[in-house]
């Protein structure tokens, strides 16, 4: 195996992981603190991408588009929390799944009604076009590097927010024991709205950053949501640190698996069998990883939940 | 006096009645209108309705009703709507159908119920071969056609080491098989990716390391948008030319943007094919729907024209479906392809495939323009297996 190629693939995996982290950070907070299974988190990611397309089209600038799309997704998230989710906190998880699944259908149809059925286009800013050579012989897209940088910055910000601020202390306390936080006289309703808004903004940021790489279309959040759930289950529900480690782990395992598993299989089986089984097995890898980790740590790598 | 009026009325009624029975044709139009594939259904439906418009709103001179149904890209839903169109709406013909898996689900039950199918898109190999039927006509292409044409083009251009990629499902495998039927050079690698994969950075890095002299991909819909953008962003497009089928067209170009510039596709039709029917179709389509028609719209337009011509050739009757379908074979239809629509023994078109190149048009919008015939008057390899009875 070519070590340089392996390095390139690890970099690709890191970038996919960072992308997943932006989504997982919000979801794990919402799940951990509010005890709410929010299937519509992928829809907020999609809304972020669509708003990015709309605002970039309107302002003609990537940066302005991003600066408008993220707070706008936050507003959408807060509205969803106030109008729909607030009524679901005391219901059981099945009711939450049903209601938030309904939200997925609603948002998928809404973007079709507003923007039509065709996929939208978001361009990369001029300054981030092109490639840069990090690993010799393998030029790497600058935009993907930018995603890594932004993702790491967000991870740093969240780490500061959660460990160094009063809000962060409340968030951690909420994740560990919700009832006690409420009993201490903290306005838990406000905290929930805040956390959900933060999660929505992060999902919006992920969607807006992914928009130039991916097809901005109705339903784009559905597939990525499953990966995100895998990440938060591996990382431990409610833990930002867990989400980060698990996201990078999932990103790297998925990417390296996709790249090298078919090649390895060819050493064992004949070509046509390896070609058919390779991608199927590679797409299973992260679930195998999840099963293996849960077997040893049933609450995930960095569980914060106490009862 | 009263008796005379009654008699007149009765006579008028009697006279009117036989005409009434033939007065109407009802078409059930099944396509995928929701989800990510929904844009294809829209292109297909708009093309069909423009065809109906251009024959005066009356297919075969009969009052025309088109009942539109969404199959949601689910074979079971497709079958359900097909049954309700046949049993409840009592449609004379079923048309549309974007995806082959939906077509395979509705095919037997529909034609067994005595309702003919005029496929405006799906052309799976079983229906072109052993399971062919006089109750089925296709106005697009057998699924392999564009892939075979691209295989021939890449072979003709002298490429010796080509990298192949497709999603890991039946149509993906058929695509690469079709390509290799005409491309005889070395295959650098043949890679199948998970259906609806989002990120291709891993595969693109492998591709770069393999150093092929060209790449051929089949990535329909959103997958094509993801792949083409990421391929261009990796800076590979100028070193390793990108050839594709069903990956870059008028349904995806807006989302792919400049990433698609300099890529090549094959199709049976291009917006700039020079013939009077196509001129009328393209200008009429843009005027009415305010967007660029795709191959989907073009072949559905032909489906409407074929139904119209067949009803006329059958003396304005639609009740006898066998006679109507026989008329489809003999009807003279001026196609958007130029010249008359030619059907093979398996009721699939015999047609030429063109090379298209994507570039910025005069108005700055991206278009895929005709760069000449690759495969002339081509049928398909399955027709020989079709007993047609």
Express each pLDDT in B60-78 by its tens digit: 999 999 999 999 889 999 9
Q: Is the pLDDT of residue A164 over 50?
A: yes
**Token pair of A172 as six digits:** 């951690």
- Contact of B35 with B73, CB cutoff 8 Å: yes
Reference B205, options A221, A1, A38; nearest CA is: A1
Return d(Cα A174, Cα A36) in angstroms, integer.
Answer: 13
Q: Is the pLDDT of residue B21 over 60?
A: no
Mapping DSSP to helix (H, G, I), strand (E, B) and coil, where does residue A270 land?
coil
Chain B residues with CB within 8 Å of chain A CB: 33-36, 38-39, 41-42, 168, 190-194, 196, 198-199, 201-203, 205-206, 208-209, 221-223, 225-226, 229-230, 233-235, 251-252, 254-258
Return d(Cα A303, Cα B94) in angstroms, integer.
Answer: 56
**Token pair of A232 as six digits:** 């938060």
Q: How far is CA B20 from CA B7, B15, B25, B60, B317, in A?
A: 19, 9, 11, 15, 11
Return d(Cα B201, Cα A15) in angstroms, integer.
Answer: 10
Q: Is the pLDDT of residue A241 over 50?
A: yes
Mean pLDDT computed over A129-151: 87
Q: Is the pLDDT of residue B83 over 90?
A: yes
- Contact of B25 with B275, CB cutoff 8 Å: no
Strands (E), B76-138: 93-96, 117-119, 136-138
Q: How far is B88 from chain A (nearest CA, A)?
A: 28
Residue A224 touches chain B, beta carbons under 8 Å: yes
B214-217 and B161-167 beta bridge pairing: parallel
Q: Do A255 and B201 lie within an 8 Å CB cutoff?
A: yes
List for chain B the helix, strand, coil content (%; round to 5).
45, 20, 35
Q: Do A213 and B196 lie within an 8 Å CB cutoff?
A: no
Return d(Cα B319, Cα B315) in angstroms, integer.
Answer: 11
Q: Do B39 and A256 lie within an 8 Å CB cutoff?
A: no
Mapping DSSP to helix (H, G, I), strand (E, B) and coil, where does residue B177 land?
helix
pLDDT digits (tens, 9 = 90+) for B225-278: 999 999 998 889 889 999 999 999 999 998 898 899 999 999 999 999 999 999
Chain-centroid distance, C-alpha A183: 32
pLDDT digits (tens, 9 = 90+) for A297-306: 988 898 775 4
Q: Do A278 and B192 lie within an 8 Å CB cutoff?
A: yes
Range of lowest pLDDT (A157-171, B18-32, B106-120, B243-257): B18-32
Considering chain B, what is the average pLDDT of its residues? 91
**How many contacts does A have with B, using Cβ atoms within 8 A?**
125
pLDDT at residue B1, as a whole number: 46
**Residue B12's pLDDT band (cuts 50, 70, 90):** very low
- Contact of B312 with B61, CB cutoff 8 Å: yes
**Token pair of B212 as six digits:** 């092929």
pLDDT digits (tens, 9 = 90+) for B139-155: 999 999 999 999 999 99
Return d(Cα A27, Cα A41) in angstroms, integer.
Answer: 7
A138-141 and A131-135 beta bridge pairing: antiparallel
pLDDT cut 70: percent of chain B above it: 94
Q: How far is A120 from chain B (nearest CA, A)?
A: 5
Residue A9 touches chain B, beta carbons under 8 Å: yes
Q: Is the pLDDT of residue A186 over 90?
A: no
Residue A217 touches chain B, beta carbons under 8 Å: yes
Return d(Cα A290, Cα A300) in angstroms, integer.
Answer: 9
Question: In this structure, how many other beta carbons lie within 10 angstroms of the beta carbon of residue B147?
Answer: 28
């Amino acid at each position: 195996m070519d070590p340089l190629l392996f390095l390139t693939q690890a970099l690709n995996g890191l970038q996919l992981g960072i992308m997943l982290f932006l989504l997982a950070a919000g979801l794990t907070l919402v799940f951990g603190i509010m005890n709410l299974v929010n299937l519509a988190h992928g829809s907020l990611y999609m809304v972020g991408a669509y708003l990015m397309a709309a605002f970039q089209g309107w302002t003609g600038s990537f940066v302005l588009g991003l600066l408008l799309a993220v707070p706008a997704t936050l507003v959408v998230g807060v509205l969803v929390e106030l109008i729909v989710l607030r009524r679901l906190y005391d219901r059981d998880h099945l009711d939450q799944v049903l209601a938030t699944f309904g939200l997925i259908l609603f948002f998928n149809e809404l973007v079709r009604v507003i923007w039509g059925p065709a996929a939208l286009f978001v361009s990369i800013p001029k300054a981030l076009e092109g490639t840069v050579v990090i690993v010799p012989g393998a030029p790497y897209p600058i935009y993907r590097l930018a995603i890594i940088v932004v993702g790491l910055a967000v991870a740093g910000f969240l780490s500061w927010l959660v460990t160094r601020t009063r809000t962060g202390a409340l968030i951690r306390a909420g994740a560990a024991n919700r009832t006690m936080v409420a009993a201490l006289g903290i306005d838990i309703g406000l905290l929930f709205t805040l956390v959900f808004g933060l999660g929505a903004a992060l999902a919006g940021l992920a969607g807006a950053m992914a928009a130039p790489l991916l097809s901005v279309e109705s339903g784009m959040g559905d597939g990525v949501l499953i990966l995100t759930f895998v990440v938060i289950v591996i990382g431990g529900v409610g833990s930002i640190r867990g989400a980060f480690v698990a996201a990078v782990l999932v990103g790297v395992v998925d990417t390296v698996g996709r790249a090298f598993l078919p090649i390895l299989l060819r050493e064992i089986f004949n070509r046509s069998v390896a070609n058919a089984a390779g991608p199927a097995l590679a797409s299973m890898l992260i679930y195998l990883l999840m099963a293996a980790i849960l077997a040893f740590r049933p609450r995930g790598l960095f569980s914060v939940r106490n009862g | 006096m009263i008796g005379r009026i009654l008699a007149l009325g009765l006579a008028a009624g009697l006279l009117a009645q036989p005409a009434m029975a033939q007065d109407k044709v009802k078409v059930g139009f099944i396509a995928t209108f929701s989800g990510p594939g929904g844009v294809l259904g829209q292109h297909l439906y708009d093309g069909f309705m423009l065809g109906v418009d251009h024959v005066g709103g009356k297919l075969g001179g009969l009052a025309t009703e088109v009942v539109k149904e969404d199959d949601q890209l689910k074979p079971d839903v497709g079958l359900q709507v097909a049954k309700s169109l046949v049993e409840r709406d009592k449609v004379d013909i079923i048309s549309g159908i974007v995806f082959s898996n939906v077509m395979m689900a509705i095919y037997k039950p529909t034609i067994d119920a005595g309702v003919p199918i005029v496929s405006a898109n799906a052309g799976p190999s079983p229906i072109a071969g052993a399971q062919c039927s006089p109750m089925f006509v296709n106005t697009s292409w057998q699924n392999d056609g564009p892939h075979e044409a691209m295989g021939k083009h890449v072979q003709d251009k002298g490429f010796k080491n080509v990298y192949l990629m497709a999603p890991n499902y039946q149509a993906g495998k058929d695509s690469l098989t079709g390509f290799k039927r005409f491309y005889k050079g070395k295959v650098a690698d043949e890679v199948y990716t998970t259906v609806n994969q989002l990120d291709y950075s891993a595969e693109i890095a492998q591709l770069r390391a393999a150093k092929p002299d060209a790449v051929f991909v089949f990535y329909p819909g959103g997958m094509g948008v993801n792949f083409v953008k990421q391929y261009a962003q990796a800076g590979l497009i100028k070193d390793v030319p990108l050839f594709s089928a069903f990956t870059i067209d008028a349904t995806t170009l807006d989302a792919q943007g400049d990433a698609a510039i300099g890529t090549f596709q094959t199709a049976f039709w291009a917006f700039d094919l020079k013939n009077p029917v196509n001129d009328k179709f393209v200008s009429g389509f843009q005027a009415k729907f305010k967007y660029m028609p795709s191959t989907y719209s073009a072949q559905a337009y032909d489906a409407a024209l074929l139904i119209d011509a067949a009803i006329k050739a059958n003396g304005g009757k639609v009740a006898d479906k066998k006679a109507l379908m026989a008329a489809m074979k003999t009807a003279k239809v001026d196609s958007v392809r130029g010249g008359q629509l030619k059907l093979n023994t398996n009721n699939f078109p015999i047609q030429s495939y063109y090379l298209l190149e994507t570039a910025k048009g005069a108005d700055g919008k991206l278009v895929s323009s005709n760069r000449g015939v690759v495969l002339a008057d081509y049928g398909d390899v399955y027709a020989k297996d079709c007993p047609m009875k």
